[in-house]
Amino acid sequence: PTDDDLKVGMKVEVEAEVDEATDTVTATRIRTEEAIRGPFEAVVNDHTLTVMGQTVVFDPTDPAVLDDSIVGGIGGLSAGDVLEVHGDVLPDGTVAATFIELEPSPVNFKVKGVIAGTDATAMTFRVGGLTVDYAGADLSDLPGNAPADGLFVEVEGNPALGAGGELVATKVESDALDAPEAREMRVEGTVTAVEGASFEVEGQPAQWNAGTLFVGGTSDDLVPGAFVEVEGPVSAGVILADKVEFQDEIDLESDLAAVGDDGSLTLAGLGLTVAVDGNLTEMRDPVGAGDHVRVRAFRLGDGSLMATRVERRSAGTTVRLQGPVDSAADPTVTVLGIAVDTTGFQDDDFQDVSEATLGRTGFFGAVGAETLVQAKGDLQEDGSVLWREVQLEEAD
């Protein structure tokens, strides 16, 4: 793309040259990385669309999300209009869009996501609500030259759906970044597979060794569901990790019930104890029992929590619980082992990633194991929490 083609909100893959003497980075190649290119189907509400079998959510208050090519906003779209959607594929398959534009002359259709429902006889699989016919597709980039459930892939296909609404694929490939040998690569995302020292970050293979620097955790904490940033050179398509940094997707707020002799923090109402480490934890303020605090943390391999940042807040009753879902069945969603009862919630107490109303049915239809969710409530005098809202969150 040219400078004029790049717009705020687009996802891009960048190759660059680093001049260590001057500490400057010069881009040598930029490629746009849309999550979907395909026909618009329907408007669900003011912040949700369906595009080629995929659910797309966006922030309707952000003017940068919808390109000027979409005249009249989403209400001006017609079924069959081809859209390019940039954004993040969430654990439930929903695409949290950062940029959407019309593509009047597509050379192909494209979708990214996790394979499900593979049928080797019919030579089909699903990505979200889309059936993919891979009978004539190039599968050479896939392990064993065959699709399998659970693989995170990018599918390219004919720029017209088949008679049954299926995408006739021309290529199915692992969604690993295409980087030249020995080049430095940096990738951020959720760990999707681990085997010994080898692991994958949303389809991108990586490997650690004795010289790898782990920040915010150790190799034992490299488990499926962990959110990490990995840096290192590429060899045979694998990032040889120089550095693995754990990202703090867990966000907690409450009064401090106790501070342990080892500095660990126990939060009132939640009953969670968070470890503190002088090398890993940024203590922004001195804290003690009774203080109202906010804690960012990540989950260790044994399920315990390690604080990355602790700060004292103004006194209040707010309780915040953000973390990956353990299980969800209306009316209860369990996060980090804590059951959040939504029995008394109204529809506008259930929100999506853009804080727009999702409703009870929409929320419980969207959440599953490892979905990132934030619950807010108020600490009661008896030490319990009266929950008042829940929201889908996007990983950092």
Are residues 148 and 103 part of one domain? yes
DSSP 35: S
Are residues 149 and 133 part of one domain? yes
Q: Is residue 7 part of a domain?
A: no
Are residues 100 and 43 part of one domain? yes
Which pLDDT belongs to residue 62? 75
The 10s digit of each residue's pLDDT in 118-158 is: 999 999 999 999 999 999 999 998 989 999 998 889 999 99
Question: Domain range holding 277?
Answer: 250-264+271-315
Exposure letters 307-319 (e unless 16+ CB within 10 A, then b): bbebebeeeeebb
Which pLDDT belongs to residue 19? 72
From 128, 157, 178, the end of a domain falls on: 178
- DSSP H helices in the chain: 359-366
Q: Is residue 258 part of a domain?
A: yes
Structure tokens belonging to residue 283: 């203590």
By DSSP bridging, strand 130-133 and strand 167-174 are parallel
Structure tokens belonging to residue 255: 């009064």
Which pLDDT belongs to residue 125? 98
CB 70 within 8 A of CB 100: yes
Are residues 162 and 89 part of one domain? yes
How open is the CA angle 29-14-219, to the nearest 5 degrees?
A: 140
Are residues 126 and 71 part of one domain? yes
Report d(CA 227, CA 247) in Å as an integer: 5
Q: Is residue 4 part of a domain?
A: no
Are residues 196 and 97 part of one domain? no
Which pLDDT belongs to residue 277? 77
Where residue 255 sits, what CATH number does that domain have?
2.40.50
From 279, 297, 315, the end of a domain falls on: 315
Are residues 208 and 87 part of one domain? no
Q: Is this model's pTM higher than 0.75 or not?
A: no
Q: Is residue 26 part of a domain?
A: no
Q: Is residue 328 part of a domain?
A: yes
Which pLDDT belongs to residue 264? 94
Are residues 188 and 145 part of one domain? no
Q: Is residue 5 part of a domain?
A: no
Are residues 45 and 156 part of one domain? yes
Which pLDDT belongs to residue 179? 55
- Sign of the dihedral through C-alpha 284, 288, 293, 298: positive
Are residues 133 and 77 part of one domain? yes
Number of domains in the chain: 4
Q: Is residue 125 part of a domain?
A: yes
pLDDT tens track, the chain, 396 positions:
566 678 888 877 777 776 767 767 787 778 788 999 999 999 998 888 999 999 998 877 777 889 999 998 999 999 999 999 998 776 567 887 889 999 988 989 999 998 999 999 999 999 999 999 999 999 998 989 999 998 889 999 999 999 999 999 999 998 765 555 556 888 877 677 788 999 988 778 899 999 999 876 778 878 766 678 899 998 888 999 999 987 767 899 999 999 999 899 999 999 999 989 776 687 889 999 999 999 988 876 557 788 878 999 999 999 999 998 999 999 999 999 999 999 999 999 999 988 899 999 999 999 988 888 999 999 999 999 999 999 998 755
Q: Is residue 66 part of a domain?
A: yes
Neighbours of 136 (CB within 10 A): 11
How open is the CA angle 133-89-182, to the nearest 5 degrees?
A: 90
Are residues 328 and 303 part of one domain? no
Are residues 160 and 72 part of one domain? yes
Instruction: HSE, CB side, 13 Å, CA atoms: give it for residue 344.
Output: 4
Where residue 236 sits, what CATH number does that domain have?
2.40.50.320
From 281, 300, 315, the end of a domain falls on: 315
- Across the strands, what pairs with 31? 13
